[in-house]
């Protein structure tokens, strides 16, 4: 069952990652947020639910290993500025702060997240197939 837990936690983590990427892409031109200022790119931080020693111990205990979303952080890279004096969000010098989002980088992240999700689905299916084969052999 731990193998199912690892795969399912990986799928959930990649689902959250895709949601964050979609939010970044949706806000690529957002110059004004509720917090004030331009939208700041978000990034996701993963962590292992257990270290290697804990995984060995979990073989005896009921605690399941896997990955979890440790948090969603804001990218601290500087904003992109464009000279647009007629824009309503322009500063005193006529510059508008645009989000620190690189569309190409987000697309690469989206492909990576999608492939990671697919790999977890494949691992889940392989585990299920092995469990079914074991039941056939034992039965």
Q: What is the pLDDT of residues 90-121, one digit of tens each?
A: 999 999 999 999 999 999 999 999 999 999 99
pLDDT in tens, 38-87: 999 999 999 886 655 665 565 555 556 788 899 999 999 999 999 999 99
- Measured distance CA(125)–CA(129) in Å, rounded: 6
Look up tokens 């890279």; give the residue: 77
- Measured distance CA(133)–CA(139) in Å, rounded: 10
User: Given pLDDT bands bounded at 50, 70 and 90, which one contains residue 134?
Assistant: confident
Does the reported pTM lie above 0.75?
yes
Number of other residues whose CB lies within 10 A of the CB of residue 129: 10
End-to-end Cα separation, the chain, in angstroms: 19
Cα→Cα distances 108→94, 105, 121, Å: 33, 5, 20
pLDDT of 61 = 58
Cα→Cα distances 42→22, 24, 128, Å: 10, 7, 35
């Amino acid at each position: 069952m731990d193998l199912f837990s690892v795969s399912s936690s990986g799928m959930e983590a990649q689902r959250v990652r895709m949601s964050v990427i979609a939010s970044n892409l949706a806000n690529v031109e957002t110059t004004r947020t509720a917090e004030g200022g331009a939208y700041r790119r978000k990034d996701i931080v993963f962590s292992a639910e257990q270290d290697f020693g804990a995984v060995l111990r979990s073989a005896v205990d009921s605690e399941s290993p896997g990955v979890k979303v440790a948090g969603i952080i804001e990218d601290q890279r500087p904003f992109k500025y464009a000279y647009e004096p007629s824009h309503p969000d322009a500063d005193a010098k006529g510059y508008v702060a645009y989000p620190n989002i690189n569309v190409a980088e987000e697309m690469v992240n989206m492909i990576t997240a999608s492939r990671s999700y697919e790999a977890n689905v494949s691992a889940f299916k392989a585990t299920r197939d092995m469990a079914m084969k074991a039941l056939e052999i034992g039965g």
